[in-house]
Amino acid sequence: MARRLNRGASAELFARAQRALPGGVSSPVRAFKAVGGTPLFFASADGAWFTDADGNRYLDFVQSWGPSILGHAHPEVVAAVQAAAARGLSFGAPHAGEVELAERVKALYPGVDRVRFTSSGTEATMSAIRLARGATGRSRLVKFSGCYHGHSDGLLVAAGSGAITFGQPSSAGVPAEIARLTSVLPLDDEQALAALFAAHGREIAAVILEPVPANNGLLLQRPEFLRRLRELCTQHGALLIFDEVISGFRVALGGAAELYGVQPDLATFGKILGGGMPVGAFAGPAPLFEHLAPLGPVYQAGTLSGNPVAMAAGRATLQVLQRDGVLAKLDRLGHRMESRLQPALQRSDWPVAFCRLGSLFWFAFGARTAPTRAEDVAGDAAALYRTFHAECLDAGVYLAPSAYEVGFLSAAHTEADIERATETMLQALAATFAEARR
């Protein structure tokens, strides 16, 4: 079905890149190792589309992994960045722009009085955990298997075998002594949660989770599970941290906290908050932030934190999101995609489920129903996805180069783009399962 696109220039650049960058990339998943072949080198991107180094155009459902919710190079965001850049790239001093963005976050997110900016989501979660430990005087951290919170040592920890486990490092270079301070639980399991709190409740400084887990596929949780987690944290004096780096300003303007009506003690942001520039933040009630330097003893800092250009991109992005009712439009697009795909999947006997929340979507290969835990994601998903991804790519539809990454819709996608993409996806699914049967 697919036309073969020329990828000579990308292949040449990749060969060169591998002699200058480890694995040819600045972040691992970009290397296409999970799907095979050569990663595409981007030349430029606008709206829902990008152009690669060979001049091919692709409909982009990665959108920089979420930040460009308005589409690539949105004119208002670009103008805000250009105007800010002309006034100075970095001050290393206070300025009005960071106050304005913090005020916007306060207005949108439930329970936020104070916002500390960082330059990445990783820094935001790492610092939120330090604040939680400093404020509670406790050391233990609880995370959930399948949730990703950036690459700081204590968060690169995977589940062991039992329901209550002390974490094993999931990366070389993370000392076992550090990983042991992290407990890992399965998602969607109130019993495991209650058992951990019963055994270790008084040691737990914080529980961190993606309330909309979107880094191991899209593992949508029952609101009752989130409410139970909230109750247990409150009962045991542990702080609840919602990592809203993907879900913040996307599943609702007030993130998953607004969507599910469950308020965390601390929230972390990134991606959309920077509108494509490097930004993260952690935020919460004023009394907690009394513990943070310069007010208190918990140290956290950053040369480029609150960077004026990045703050301008974030302000412009949130302003357009709010003003233009973008999230409602995205939900309509997502619904259209779902309404094209779901009936075809139902009619077929293909082992694949389509999962969606608003503008996030995911094909769960190897399953007929949407999984809610990392442990339930099928082992053969990656092999099936390899074919599906290659078929879509050849037809000019760019999906994440990993079976476990979600797709992102942007405000720049049109209904026609969705029609075209779903047609391509259905053909790619047919090809994938025809090949799997051979």
Ligand X SMILES: *Cc1c(COP(=O)(O)O)cnc(C)c1O
Q: Is 267 helix (H, G, I), strand (E, B) or coil?
A: strand
| Known catalytic membership, residue 109 | no
Which of 307/424 has CB closer to ligand X?
A: 307
The burial class, CB within 10 Å (0-12 / 13-18 / 19+), for 328 is: exposed
> How near is the Cβ of 84 to ligand X at its closest, in Å?
20
Which of 83/301 has CB closer to ligand X?
A: 301
Name the closest residue to ligand X (Cβ): 121
Output the CA torsion 398→401→405→409 (10° steps). -10
How many Cβ atoms sit within 10 Å of the Cβ of residue 32?
Answer: 18
DSSP-assigned letters across all residues of 358-388? TTEEEEEET-SS---SGGGS-TTHHHHHHHH
Active-site residue, selected from the candidate residues 52, 60, 188, 243: 243
> How near is the Cβ of 406 to ligand X at its closest, in Å?
9
Positions touching ligand X (CB under 6 A) are 120-122, 125, 148-150, 210, 215, 243, 245-246, 270, 280
Beta strands 49-52 and 57-60 are: antiparallel
Cα–Cα distances in angstroms (integers) from residue 272 to residues 141, 267, 369, 407, in the given order: 26, 14, 29, 15
What does the alpha-carbon distance between residue 290 and residue 296 come to, in Å, rounded to a whole number? 6
> How near is the Cβ of 218 to ligand X at its closest, in Å?
12
Which of 407/425 has CB closer to ligand X?
A: 407
> How near is the Cβ of 274 to ligand X at its closest, in Å?
8
Whether omega for the bond prior to residue 39 falls within 30 degrees of 0, making it cis, is no
* Contact (CB, 8 A) for 260 and 242: no
> How near is the Cβ of 103 to ligand X at its closest, in Å?
22
| Known catalytic membership, residue 260 | no
Active-site residue, selected from the candidate residues 52, 60, 143, 148: 148
Which of 132/245 has CB closer to ligand X?
A: 245
Cα–Cα distances in angstroms (integers) from residue 142 to residues 183, 306, 383, in the given order: 5, 29, 31
- 124: which 2 tokens? 């935001």
| Known catalytic membership, residue 271 | yes
Which of 74/271 has CB closer to ligand X?
A: 271
Name the residues annotated as catalytic. 148, 243, 271
